[in-house]
Structure 1
Amino acid sequence: MKKIRIDVELKKQISNELNISLQSVRMSLEYVFNSDNAKKVRKMAKELLIKEAENIKI
């Protein structure tokens, strides 16, 4: 099953920035939706995950 897993804080951030519901964010990340907004959600989620990963110090 295709799914992008991110923390609820990041989901809220995406929801607020794109002015869409948390349910829309969740369904976009689960690939239920494939609209332009859903693609924006997935792109934003990827960018936020990369940003989080860059903060990890090894």
Structure 2
Amino acid sequence: MQACQNHGMITRAVAGSSLAFCPPLIIDRAQVDEMIEKFSLGLNDTLDFVTRENLLKN
């Protein structure tokens, strides 16, 4: 959640390891693309962190 917020995307943590997106009801394709890009950046940052901290389970 914090990694996404660092890229300007607000998400909400929900039960387990899930995040909720709450885009506006009126959203255009460019905004959806931007949302997915920011989410991707957040996921990549999270993967970098868990790899660096050796938190991945085999």
Tell me the TM-score range normalised by the shorter chain: 0.3 to 0.5
Normalising by structure 1, we get a TM-score of 0.43
Structure showing greater relative contact order (alpha-carbon pairs closer than 8 Å, 6 or more residues apart): 2
Larger helix share, 1 or 2: 1
Flag the structure with larger Rg.
Answer: 2
Larger strand share, 1 or 2: 2
